[in-house]
């Protein structure tokens, strides 16, 4: 029996990390520096809550919704299924054919056109309303994509977000699933406990199962 292996599925956060057009880009400023004679290095970061791999909190799209600090951690840790999709435009309900959603609980979608950390495309793959509804009604606890949003860039109603949230389904976005083969893993992707936050960057990892 092989030892479990960790696979980092987080995007690298740096000054070149792509963000939603108009959102805050990442920056880092040295407050203290050893090379300047200080006893240690201390940095200050400025970034959007949606920078890189992140967990959306219900507050992001529902007025009065829970913030990141109040969100349950249970959906973000546990057994998951990585699914390869085939339509470069969207995740379709057909991608869930033959999957017992309530048994899998956490489903991550590996789409055909993954983005680089420094790349933005307006036509990224999103979750179709039919797929979101099937996941919500099927008993999913968490859904993740390797693109910036479960809804298309042009959406003003955020239908997939709201369908999932109505059934308590947690959302992970901008995963890096390129190094991952489809199959079953253990997911660990905990959001930070930030009061009032509408989302939180996460360090998402998969652990192979023995």
Tokens 């200050």 belong to residue: 44
Identify which of 142, 126, 136, 135 has the alpha carbon closest to the alpha carbon of residue 188.
142
Q: 102, 85, 103: which is closest to 94 by C-alpha?
A: 85
Residue-level length of the chain = 210
Q: Is residue 178 within 8 Å of residue 206, measured between CB atoms? A: no
Three-state SS at 20: coil
- The distance of Cα 156 from the centroid of its chain, to the nearest Å, equals 20
Residue 175 phi/psi, 5° resolution? -75, 160
Cα–Cα nearest to 127, from 150, 155, 94, 156? 150
Number of other CB atoms surrounding residue 81 within 10 Å: 19
Residue 124 CA, distance from chain mean position = 14
- Residues involved in catalysis: 60
CB 170 within 8 A of CB 55: yes
Helices marked H in the chain: 101-104, 129-138, 159-166
């Amino acid at each position: 029996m092989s030892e479990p292996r960790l696979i980092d599925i987080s995007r690298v956060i740096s000054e070149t990390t792509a963000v939603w057009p108009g959102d805050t880009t990442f920056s880092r400023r040295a407050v203290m520096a050893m090379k300047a004679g200080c006893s240690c290095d201390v940095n200050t970061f400025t970034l959007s809550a949606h920078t890189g791999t992140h967990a959306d909190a219900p507050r992001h799209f529902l007025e009065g919704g829970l913030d990141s600090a109040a969100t349950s951690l249970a959906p973000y840790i546990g057994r998951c299924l990585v699914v390869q999709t085939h339509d470069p435009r969207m995740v379709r309900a057909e991608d869930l054919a033959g999957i017992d959603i309530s048994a899998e609980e956490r489903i991550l979608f590996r789409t055909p056109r993954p983005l680089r950390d420094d790349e933005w495309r307006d036509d990224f793959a999103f979750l179709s309303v039919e797929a979101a509804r099937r996941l919500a009604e099927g008993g999913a606890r968490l859904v993740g994509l390797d693109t910036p949003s479960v809804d298309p860039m042009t959406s003003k109603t955020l239908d997939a977000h709201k369908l999932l949230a109505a059934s308590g389904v947690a959302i992970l976005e901008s995963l890096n699933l390129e190094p991952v083969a489809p199959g079953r893993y253990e997911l660990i992707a905990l959001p930070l406990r930030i009061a009032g936050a509408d989302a939180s960057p996460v360090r998402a990892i998969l652990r192979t199962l023995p």
